[in-house]
Amino acid sequence: MHIHNVRGQLFEAAERVMLRDGPDALTSRAVTEEANCAKGVLHRHFTDFDAFLAELVLNCVRGIEDRTKTLRAAAGTGSVVDNLVDALQDLFGPVTVAIVALITFRDGLRARLREAGLTGIPLAMHGTAMIAAYLTAERESGRLAGDADIETLAPTLVGAGHLLFADRTTAPPQPDAIRKMVTIIIAGALRPPQP
């Protein structure tokens, strides 16, 4: 049987395994069983399992880069707080939270990501860049103060957001909790709405 878009199907299978059983259950066997294909299929497309996982992370990074354009285009529309709440809920979906945990405990994966030029926790770093791009656009539109410290605000929002979402064993935080956190962090930078 020929499988179309093998890489995509393997990535989706890995995400299902992580969401159902947690990142520590992610093995090449678990992924290929979930994808309903032979174990050799994964190794025909990737040199080893850490190479597969690195591509999974890079795939998520590309998704964040795509969302950055959409979020930046939202500057000047809606409410700054609402836009940030939506962006953080999207950024810290269950797959991202599981992948952050995966990166944290897999030395081989971190080594592969460094080889690809990614340092730290790539999803958090790219998420911070996404939020910074949006805040910069809002500052340019006049909805944030001209002296708003984007280099501090963006990582603060992402770090606090990650803490809210990090517990994979409970339900995600309520939108009101995210809104409260965002409101407090950006309060000093927001300009009052112009009449």
* Domain of residue 54, CATH code: 1.10.357
Q: Is residue 91 part of a domain?
A: yes
Residues 32 and 59 both lie in one domain = no
pTM score of the predicted model: 0.88
Arithmetic mean of pLDDT over the chain: 91
Q: What is the total residue count of the chain? A: 195
The per-residue pLDDT for range 86-145, each reduced to its tens digit, is 999 999 988 888 898 889 888 999 999 999 898 888 899 999 999 999 999 999 999 999
3-class SS letters over 151-173? HHHHHHHHHHHHHHHCCCCCCCC
Residues 182 and 112 both lie in one domain = yes
Q: Is residue 191 part of a domain?
A: no
Q: Is residue 79 part of a domain?
A: yes
The per-residue pLDDT for range 45-58, each reduced to its tens digit, is 899 999 999 999 99
Q: Is residue 93 part of a domain?
A: yes
Residue 144, strand partner residues? 190
Residues contacting residue 41 through CB under 8 Å, at least 6 positions apart? 3, 6, 10, 32, 35
Structural domain range at position 17: 1-45
